[in-house]
Structure 1
Amino acid sequence: MNPLRFSNHRQAGFSLVELMIALVLGLLVTGAVMGVFLSNQQIQRQNEGLARMQESARYAFEVLSRSIREAGGIPCGSGLRVSNVLNPPSQWWADWANNTIRGYAGGDATFPRAFGTAAGDRVSGTEAIVVLSGTGSEGLIIVDHNAPAAEFKVNTTAHGIVDGDILLVCDYDHAAILQTTNASSSTVTIVHNTGTSGVSPGNCSKYLGWPVPSTCGSSGPGSDPPSYTFEKNGFISKLQATGWYIGHNGRGGRSLYRLRLQNNSGSALASAEEVAEGITDLQFQYLRRVAGGLADSYVAASSITDWSEVVAVRLTLITRTLESVGTDQQPIERQWPTVVTLRNRQP
């Protein structure tokens, strides 16, 4: 045998037909692998989007339900009369007589955050709610109250109260809303004098009895009544005031926001905070206590004339994934309903 011919035969490659067949088979395999990869990637994105949406809904439910449940709460007991000596007492975050819980329909522009398109502005057409409570923080125990000097002494120097804090004070008889004018972590004394030096809005009176004098804008006596001394072992807590609403988040989406009463260097102000992303709408319905028991059905905010009758809230959160991960290449939406009972308005 010719060695040259044998060598050439052993070095022969694939034919063109064989190469084309191999190429087609390789493309088919690659296409199948890519299809599986893209499908798994889409499923992963969808699962991640749903998980984030559920987490936002879970957290939003927790903070909203807790806030609504405590509406009108007073450490000394529910249903107490409340004197308000703030000057004036009508700010939304302190208007206890009207706003311990109050809902706002989608077209109601009287909510304390205006409709708009900037980050933190309320989304037009969405509902909102305001909640006030005196039980959102750990209460301090009253050791002594010197009413003429407008001074409380409490059980610890670690009271956490500073100048300008809005407080709710109570005993078995009634409660009072006031602003701290002087407090220090080095003493147990908390002062609630009149005037606005260093604080805002200030107190119209240092007398905390019931009713407040007409000089505070009430229908009470024309001058300060005899001083009222709060009983020992009464409670002092910071007033909690929160407005819940849907706002633009500045990233092209919507989020759950809250307006919260805060102390800004002695001035009581409400600031907006983003709470949970992807919450696109809030819907509220309210159950009232009427003569003879409870009303037959939940109603919208526009149907409520006396908010002190509300005993439960049906809350629905509407959430949306941040990305278009649905099978139709659109965001996925879910509705999350629950009912919250107002703890402080139960029999």
Structure 2
Amino acid sequence: MSTSLHMTSRNTVSRITSSRGSPRLGRQAGVGLVELMISLVLGLLITAMAVQMFSTSRSTVSTQEALSYLQESARYVSFRLQPLMRNVGYAGCANSRDITNSSSVDDEHDLTAPFGGQQRTQRGVSYFNLSFVAASKDGDETTMTSSMSSLGGPLFVRSDSEAAFTAGDFALVSDCNSTDVFKVSGTTQGKVETLDTLSRTYGSSQSSNAYLYPVHAWELLLDDQASDTSVRALYLDRINANFSREELASGVQGFDVSFSLDTTGNGSVDRVKVPAATVRSEDRWSEVRRIEIALTLESLPGVVPGGDNNGRLTRTFNLTFTPRNLQLRDS
């Protein structure tokens, strides 16, 4: 009996000792200095990678936005000039060689020589300030309603359509047989008055329908932007007219004009990208068939971090315009 109790007490003491030993084993588990240093290094590496990815992503987005802006600027220049360029030298439905200029028509509005300009320099950038003559867009086409009473006019048009013509400006009238360019002396209800006599009485029963179009002379030039004189801009301006010149694009770093020529008169281009200054010096305006413009645009600084030229993005866009009936000039 006593032996059994002694053994039970010993087992109890053993269990108590074992249970007291467990806490000592738990206090030995933990994070050492080496593990802590490794964790800190890994954390710093991950943070640096995240910052680098964010910086690269931000730089890419900034570059893409700047490129999109430059592309949109070039598209607007093309959009704005396309309707004007396509009507350069337009003579209605007649051939441009059949154009007759009245005595008041100046050189700037002479559709038989629809191009001009000269070499200029704007703050260190040399360019050719292209000038050209164009009949107005198709929406301003006006049909004569009856024949002229004399060579001195007036030209009778639909009521209110005379609003497209302004005293002091120029216009053309064409009936597919001939074309006259004249200066408008004034307008009244349903009438367009001419300053000089024309070569024939348009709208008579012996001829087909006659159409009138406003004629405007334009020029493309570089100048400082009105709001920031450190930024160069491309402007479209009307020659000898009360017209507030229009800014087409800003950040212009280059503006080169060239032409494709038909030197044989067979309707096919045989010389391409002839500099405008060369065409002018050789007086080959009648051979022009296409107009090519190389427009170099530059973004604001800081767009490309760490890039050249204070981080500016620069792109050159090539624009081509084909007047719709210049190829018929010698046919």
Provide the C-alpha distance between the structure 2 equivalents of 1:124 and 1:280, rounded to a whole number of angstroms.
Answer: 7
Provide the C-alpha distance between the structure 2 equivalents of 1:230 and 1:320, rounded to a whole number of angstroms.
Answer: 51
| Structure 1 residue corresponding to 2:201, chosen from 229, 246, 250 | 229
Provide the C-alpha distance between the structure 2 equivalents of 1:191 and 1:342, rounded to a whole number of angstroms.
Answer: 29
Alignment of 1:79-94 (within 5 A): 79=96, 80-86=98-104, 89-90=105-106, 92=108, 94=109
Larger Rg: 2
1:104 maps to amino acid: Q
Q: Which residue of 1 aligns with 2:6?
A: none
Structure 1 position 309 matched with structure 2 position 287 = yes
Q: Which residue of 2 aligns with 1:57?
A: 74
CA distance change for structure 1 residues 168 and 320 in 2, over 3 Å: closer, same or farther? same
CA distance change for structure 1 residues 284 and 161 in 2, over 3 Å: closer, same or farther? closer
Alignment of 1:142-153 (within 5 A): 142-144=144-146, 145-147=148-150, 150-153=153-156
CA distance change for structure 1 residues 178 and 288 in 2, over 3 Å: closer, same or farther? same
- Secondary structure, aligned partner of 2:203: coil
Per residue, is there more helix in 1 or in 2? Answer: 2
Provide the C-alpha distance between the structure 1 equivalents of 2:116 and 2:239, rounded to a whole number of angstroms.
Answer: 16
Higher relative contact order (CA 8 A, sep 6+): 1
- Are 1:72 and 1:78, in contact at CA under 8 Å, matched by a contact in 2? no
Provide the C-alpha distance between the structure 1 equivalents of 2:301 and 2:83, rounded to a whole number of angstroms.
Answer: 29
Structure 1 position 248 matched with structure 2 position 253 = no
How many positions carry a matched residue from both structures? 289
What percent identity do the matched residue pairs reach?
21
Alignment of 1:72-151 (within 5 A): 72-79=89-96, 80-86=98-104, 89-90=105-106, 92=108, 94-98=109-113, 100-106=114-120, 115=122, 124-138=125-139, 139-144=141-146, 145-147=148-150, 150-151=153-154
| Structure 1 segments unaligned to the other structure (5+ residues) | 108-114, 118-122, 193-205, 211-227, 263-267
Shift of 1:142: 0.9
Provide the C-alpha distance between the structure 2 equivalents of 1:341 and 1:52, rounded to a whole number of angstroms.
Answer: 26
Provide Cα deviations, 1:283-330, integer angstroms capped at 9, x if missing partner. Answer: 122233334645444422232213122122233222223344346523
- Are 1:72 and 1:134, in contact at CA under 8 Å, matched by a contact in 2? yes
TM-score by length of 1: 0.69
Provide the C-alpha distance between the structure 2 equivalents of 1:148 and 1:288, rounded to a whole number of angstroms.
Answer: 37
- Are 1:136 and 1:239, in contact at CA under 8 Å, matched by a contact in 2? no
- Secondary structure, aligned partner of 2:88: coil
TM-score by length of 2: 0.72
| Structure 2 segments unaligned to the other structure (5+ residues) | 1-15, 17-22
Structure 1 position 69 matched with structure 2 position 86 = yes
Structure 1 position 209 matched with structure 2 position 187 = no
1:43 maps to amino acid: T
CA distance change for structure 1 residues 340 and 131 in 2, over 3 Å: closer, same or farther? same
